[in-house]
Amino acid sequence: MAHNNHTHLHGQDLPKVLQLLPNPFFALVEANNSHKFHFLKAWASPLPQDQFLETQAGSVQVLLSSSIGPPITAQILHLLPSLKLLVTISAGLDHIDLAECRARGVAIANASKIFAEDVADMAVGLLLDVMRNISASDRFVRDGFWVSKGDFALGSKIGGKQVGVVGLGNIGLEVAKRLEAFGCNILYNSRKKKPFVSYPFFPDVCELAANSDVLVICCGLTAQTHHMINKKVLLALGREGVIVNVGRGAIIDEKEMVQCLVRGEIGGAGLDVFENEPHAPKELFALDNVVLSPHHAVLTPECFTALRELVVGNLEAFFSNKPLLSQVENN
């Protein structure tokens, strides 16, 4: 009898954590923590999602989410009146209706600084690759052109370049730190001037581009930053200018960027993110001055381990009424 009670406790009496969609990372979290939390899987129910959420509406306090897949809308939040916490495994919040969370008093915990170093490494890697033609020279050698053609295009020195960082948050600061070591001069654009750094601040992103050899996009995607890097900004960056994007695809007006690259109006691009993932613009595939990566700047085993610990730490903190480890100020 005791054994049955014990089993019962392990299932229904554990704190509930709702997941709307399957995600390999959620499975990783669950694998080590199914004895602590009851993971509710909306997708595994035979009921339509809305109906399933209504059956759980009274008791679900926590929702685990990701930036991949459908957004967390006001409609979903409306179906979960008991929700108190939304844990997202992303640093960005562009998939969440923040105003509705604020109105309902739903706290948000994100990935915080967990991704910053890995994304910054990727940004620097993309920049080096574009400026020194690493991927292009790799193809040149593999295709036998070193033997048949001999000469390969000159690369560009990294040191001494003016690098404009768009968004000097956790990731932007790590990018700046790395590129300072290469001898680059850092300039930046952010919503507001950062009192703790000495880098020149440009409130206008177009002016930043005009003063930069390289633009590195590290900011989040919001209504304000959507297509912020438009044709005017790209033309200000100029024919020698290089753009690197490790933020979100839609921060750049992709159609305009493709046109600028095809026409030679900017010098090159290193892109880890795109507007319509997993679709990258085919016009870029033939360009040697463009390096493409499948939105995997954060995908390292070390990053996953740290993220899993943070997610579980946030869940444990919430259910024991302690402060969250990575609460987002949603004011």
| Residue 263 is a catalytic residue | no
DSSP state of 43: G
Structure tokens at 78: 């409306």
Q: Which of 117, 174, 248, 275 is catalytic?
A: 248
Q: Which of 54, 180, 240, 277 is catalytic?
A: 277
Q: What is the DSSP string of 85-131?
A: EEEESSS--TTB-HHHHHHHT-EEE--TTTTHHHHHHHHHHHHHHHH
223-to-39, 51, 129 alpha-carbon distances in Å: 33, 31, 31
23's tokens: 């995600």
**CA geometry: angle 76, 81, 83, nearest 5 deg:** 80
Distance CA(239)–CA(261), nearest Å, equals 9
Phi/psi of residue 57, nearest 5 degrees:
-55, -35
**Which among 174, 275, 295, 308 is annotated as catalytic?**
295
Peptide bond into 278 cis (omega under 30): yes
What's the CA gap between 116 and 170, in Å, rounded?
6
CB 130 within 8 A of CB 244: yes
For residue 199, CA distances in Å to 81, 149, 163, 234 come to 46, 44, 11, 22
Three-state secondary-structure class, residue 2: helix
How many alpha carbons lie under 13 Å from residue 261 in its C-beta half-sphere? 26
Is 295 one of the catalytic residues? yes
For residue 239, indicate whether it is catalytic.
no
- Catalytic residue ranges: 248, 277, 295
